[in-house]
């Protein structure tokens, strides 16, 4: 991990000086992670793909504003965050999964694919702020202070969003309680 961060820092420094190959290497390193982050935020593959492309275009256009090449990853996620929030403020189209269907999904005793779908449906039911905080912490592995910088929000608020979001996910994904079977007598 430390080696990768050092290499990212070196690539970002070279990209800031106009090295297009260095920027392309950074795109290759981050494109899947940024796309998955945006997909989890928006819930739509096409939107995530468009936003991912917009994120890298803006990153390239603003490389001169990157003060610390060692912070390229959080800086890039900040751009992606801004793109996602702008997108979410626009009028939304309908989702393919209604609340009743999402509520009926449970992760217990499911195949891995079904469990993954249940988690994604449950994530979609969180507030956008909670969803993003959970995604950045759990899926992307950022520290609370890094998430605070990405979202421009106090770390204490981020902690609250993560813990509340995780608690809500736990409740949504808990196995449905089954009514007790009547005892059959002799």
For residue range 51-77, list pLDDT tens digits in order: 999 999 999 999 999 999 989 999 999
pTM exceeds 0.85, yes or no: no
> Which is higher by pLDDT, 186 or 48?
48
Q: How confident is the model at residue 181 (pLDDT cuts 50, 70, 90)?
A: low
- Neighbouring CB atoms inside 10 A of 84's CB total 23
- Give the tokens for residue 136: 């950045």
pLDDT value at residue 27:
95
pLDDT value at residue 88:
86
**Contact predicate 175/108, CB 8 Å:** yes
Task: Judge whether residue 13 has pLDDT over 90.
Answer: yes
Q: What's the CATH architecture for 1-89?
A: Orthogonal Bundle (1.10)
Mean predicted confidence (pLDDT) in 114-132: 87
Give, as one character, the DSSP assignment of residue 67: S
- Neighbouring CB atoms inside 10 A of 45's CB total 11
Give the 3-state DSSP-derived string for 17-40, with helices as H, strands as E and coil as C.
Answer: CCCHHHHHHHHHHHHHHHHHHHHH
Task: Judge whether residue 165 has pLDDT over 70.
Answer: yes
Q: How confident is the model at residue 117 (pLDDT cuts 50, 70, 90)?
A: confident
pLDDT value at residue 182:
57
When the pLDDT of each residue in the chain is averaged and rounded to a whole number, the result is 83
Lowest model confidence (mean pLDDT) among 13-22, 30-39, 135-144, 172-181: 172-181
Give, as one character, the DSSP assignment of residue 97: S
pLDDT value at residue 5:
72
pLDDT value at residue 16:
92
Percent of the chain with pLDDT over 90: 60
Reported residue count of the chain is: 186
Domain range annotation of the chain = 1-89, 105-175
> How many Å apart are CA 155 and CA 146, to the nearest integer?
8
Task: Judge whether residue 35 has pLDDT over 60.
Answer: yes
Q: What is the CATH T-level fold of the domain 105-175, as seen in this structure?
A: Arc Repressor Mutant, subunit A (1.10.10)
Measured distance between the N- and C-terminal CA atoms of the chain, rounded to whole angstroms: 65
């Amino acid at each position: 991990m430390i080696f990768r961060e050092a290499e990212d820092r070196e690539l970002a420094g070279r990209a800031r000086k106009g090295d297009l190959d260095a920027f392309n290497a950074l795109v290759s390193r981050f494109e899947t992670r940024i796309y998955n982050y945006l997909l989890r935020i928006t819930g739509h593959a096409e939107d995530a793909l468009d936003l991912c492309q917009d994120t890298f275009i803006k990153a390239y256009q603003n490389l001169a504003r990157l003060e610390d090449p060692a912070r390229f990853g959080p800086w890039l996620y900040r751009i992606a965050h801004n793109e996602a929030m702008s997108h979410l403020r626009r009028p939304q189209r309908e989702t393919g999964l209604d609340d009743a269907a999402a509520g009926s999904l449970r992760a217990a005793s499911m195949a891995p694919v079904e469990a993954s779908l249940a988690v994604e449906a449950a994530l979609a039911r969180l507030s956008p702020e909670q969803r993003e905080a959970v995604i950045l912490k759990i899926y992307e592995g950022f520290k609370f202070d890094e998430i605070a910088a990405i979202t421009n929000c106090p770390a204490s608020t981020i902690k609250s969003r993560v813990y509340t979001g995780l608690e809500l996910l736990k409740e949504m994904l808990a196995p449905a309680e089954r009514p007790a079977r009547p005892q059959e007598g002799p």
